[in-house]
Structure 1
Amino acid sequence: MEFAVAGVTVNPVLLVLWSVFVGYVYSTVGAAGGILSGVGHITIFGIKNANMVKPMNQVLTLISPVISAPLYLKERRLVVPAAIALGLGGIVGALVGSYLSHTYLPSMDTYRPFFGAITLLIAVKIWLEMLPSNKDKQQSVKKANQAFEEKVKELKAAGRLNELKNIGVQFSHVGIQNEFTFAGETFKFNAVKPFIAGILVAILSAALGVGGGFLLVPFLSSMLGFPMFIVAGTSVLSVLITSATSIMNYIRMGSSLDFMLLSFEVVGVIIGSYLGPTLSKYIKGQYLKIFLAVILTYIGTGYILATFGIKII
């Protein structure tokens, strides 16, 4: 099928299937959705216009939070004050990042290696965090993950999964200083940190044309010390605000969207986004992190090597 605005011919079935994968990964780990969307638009579907790819990636990262965030909220696997702080900072960052990228990274030749380098940098950081020397630094996170996994198995065996929210996020204090419990463990954070992080992450994610989850997940899990079971939900809610701001600014600056192509992709992302939160309860938190690191390593390496004429993706 020909998509005139994007200037490509693609089988609609491929569009849907790839987008199911994008929605599943993004709603499961709270990251990599925009990166996988970019891989699809650039490499699999062959779109050549960098300033079209960026907002179209973000349209897909916008769909997944709309679907998955309410599910995480219902299960109390979402830290709302942290997500709001990230989102408010993200508004500022998205305006700055989209302007800089639209102006200084207008071609695929300049955009793609930048995309690959940042992706690989984050992948390396996540791998380093999983080294044995770093595993003992977050005992409360490990305990919360283990307790949550054990409770899920217990409730599933008893046919009482509807009670899962009783061990979810429970706030004892909300404001600049926040405190909550999850699976019996207590966590604290200062709202200023996610606000500043939201600005910085949004500048880079808007410039890349992605949701920013690939940066938010390491921040939430490593810097704030949140368990992976609540990182995904918190990440996708904050991305909702940031992506919407960036998309509108790209359009304001003249970027075009192929709505026909996006319509097929949206269907796939919706399906994948429903599958993610449901299936992620049965996957260990450490496995989620490893999966994310593998994806980012492969994509980042592939785009950097492509600059030198070596293709692996």
Structure 2
Amino acid sequence: MDVYLPIANLSVNGLVIIALGALTGVLSGLFGVGGGFLTTPLLIFYGVPPTVAAASASTQVTGASVSGVLAHNRRGGVDYKLGGVTIAGGFVGSGIGALLFRFFQSIGQIDTVINFLYVMMLGTIGTLMAREAWASIRASRSGDKPRAAKRRHHPLVAALPGRWRFYRSGLYISPLAPLLLGVGVGILTMLMGVGGGFILVPAMLYILGMSAGVVVGTSLFNILFVTMVTTMMHALTTHAVDIVLAGLLLLGSVSGAQIGDQLAQKAKPEQLRLILAAIVLAIALRMLWGLGVRPDEIYTIAPL
């Protein structure tokens, strides 16, 4: 089923794009990540220009997040107060990211920047995730219970002035910590088309010290609104959002998020993390290889 993408200016197999959206939705429900960190590079591998892939993936992540938030809200797994603070920071970060995107686009380096950021982020996240998952699997096989990590916020968070109580998360910290975290996620969302959940979830756990029961739902709540703003900024400034591509991705992601939420309640988390880490590292290596290989098309023509 061939479908023409007007902004990307190419024809694609619609079923393949829907399948990519479904994969993203499953990851959203399983891990609380928007899934854009896999959707964007996979779209690039398929032949979609990096700028269009990044801008359109953020639209698709919004749909996956809506479905995921509803699922976690039914179990009381969303801290709306803390999520609101990170969203405020995300709006600021999206504006900064839009300026950076336009700058790199004006000097003709935005494709290289997007690919480089993905290699760095996916390589780091995949390595850390694989090491943690493998340690958990070895401990379970040997019969030794891994030592439970104490849930405590980072000393730098404790040093920030002013404190608020976030009852659902069990925190008493400065709102500046989640605000700054939201700014960073907003910048990444604008530049890379990611939801930022693959950074937000571990940061909420190990930096803010949030309760594990509300991390995934709160992350998706943040991703939902930040990707909405990012999409509007892309549409108004970079004009790189392909509505046909985004619609096909959304079609698969909404149903995929519900499937992922069900799988998360049945599967062993350490095995899921190891599988996800392997996928992330494979994509990082593929993108690294692509940065060093001469492309088939040396020059590209992009609309102003």
TM-score (norm 2): 0.79
Partner of 1:188 in structure 2? 171
5 Å-filtered alignment, 1:155-170, equals none
Partner of 1:28 in structure 2? 30
Partner of 1:217 in structure 2? 201
5 Å-filtered alignment, 1:136-215, equals 136=147, 138-139=149-150, 176-180=164-168, 187-190=170-173, 191-215=175-199
Gaps of 5+ in 1: 142-174, 182-186
Q: Tell me the amino acid that sits aligned with residue 10 of structure 1.
A: V
Deviation at 1:52, TM superposition (A): 2.0
Q: 1:232 to 1:295 in 2, by over 3 A?
A: farther
Please list the CA deviations of residues 161-196 of structure 1 after superposition, one character each: whole Å capped at 9, or x if unmatched.
Answer: xxxxxxxxxxxxxx8122447xxxxx4342332121
Partner of 2:141 in structure 1? none
Partner of 1:246 in structure 2? 230
Matches of 2:111 and 2:18, distance apart in 1: 24
Partner of 2:44 in structure 1? 42
Q: 1:92 to 1:107 in 2, by over 3 A?
A: closer
Deviation at 1:90, TM superposition (A): 0.7
Classify the secondary structure of the residue corresponding to 2:238. Answer: coil
Matches of 2:8 and 2:265, distance apart in 1: 37
Q: Tell me the amino acid that sits aligned with residue 60 of structure 2.
A: L
Deviation at 1:202, TM superposition (A): 1.7
Partner of 1:230 in structure 2? 214
C-alpha contact 2:101 2:110 (8 A) present in aligned 1: no
Q: Tell me the amino acid that sits aligned with residue 116 of structure 1.
A: V
Partner of 2:91 in structure 1? 91
Deviation at 1:116, TM superposition (A): 1.6
C-alpha contact 1:117 1:304 (8 A) present in aligned 2: no
Matches of 1:95 and 1:208, distance apart in 2: 14
CA RMSD, Structure 1 to Structure 2 (Å): 2.8
Classify the secondary structure of the residue corresponding to 2:18. Answer: helix
Gaps of 5+ in 2: 137-145, 153-162, 296-304
Partner of 1:70 in structure 2? 70
Matches of 1:102 and 1:189, distance apart in 2: 38
Matches of 2:294 and 2:30, distance apart in 1: 31
Q: 1:287 to 1:87 in 2, by over 3 A?
A: farther
Q: 1:98 to 1:189 in 2, by over 3 A?
A: farther
Q: Tell me the amino acid that sits aligned with residue 243 of structure 1.
A: T
Please list the CA deviations of residues 247-275 of structure 1 after superposition, one character each: whole Å capped at 9, or x if unmatched.
Answer: 11122213232222322221111110221
Partner of 1:120 in structure 2? 123
- Tell me, yes or no, if structure 1 residue 82 matches structure 2 residue 82: yes
Matches of 2:52 and 2:14, distance apart in 1: 19
Partner of 1:169 in structure 2? none
- Tell me, yes or no, if structure 1 residue 11 matches structure 2 residue 13: yes
C-alpha contact 1:27 1:277 (8 A) present in aligned 2: yes
Partner of 1:172 in structure 2? none
Q: How many equivalent residue pairs?
A: 271
Q: 1:243 to 1:57 in 2, by over 3 A?
A: same
Matches of 2:240 and 2:125, distance apart in 1: 29
Query: Structure 1 residues 220-229 or 2-11, which shifts more?
Result: 220-229
Matches of 1:289 and 1:188, distance apart in 2: 26
Please list the CA deviations of residues 80-118 of structure 1 after superposition, one character each: whole Å capped at 9, or x if unmatched.
Answer: 222222111111111101220232155423321222212
Deviation at 1:58, TM superposition (A): 0.1
Deviation at 1:8, TM superposition (A): 2.0
Classify the secondary structure of the residue corresponding to 2:171. Answer: strand
TM-score (norm 1): 0.77
Q: 1:292 to 1:102 in 2, by over 3 A?
A: farther
Please list the CA deviations of residues 56-77 of structure 1 after superposition, one character each: whole Å capped at 9, or x if unmatched.
Answer: 0100111111111011011112
Q: 1:282 to 1:310 in 2, by over 3 A?
A: farther
Partner of 1:152 in structure 2? none
C-alpha contact 1:25 1:32 (8 A) present in aligned 2: yes
Partner of 1:108 in structure 2? 111
C-alpha contact 1:120 1:297 (8 A) present in aligned 2: yes
C-alpha contact 1:99 1:249 (8 A) present in aligned 2: no
Deviation at 1:295, TM superposition (A): 2.9
Deviation at 1:132, TM superposition (A): 5.1
Matches of 1:59 and 1:22, distance apart in 2: 12
Deviation at 1:305, TM superposition (A): 2.3
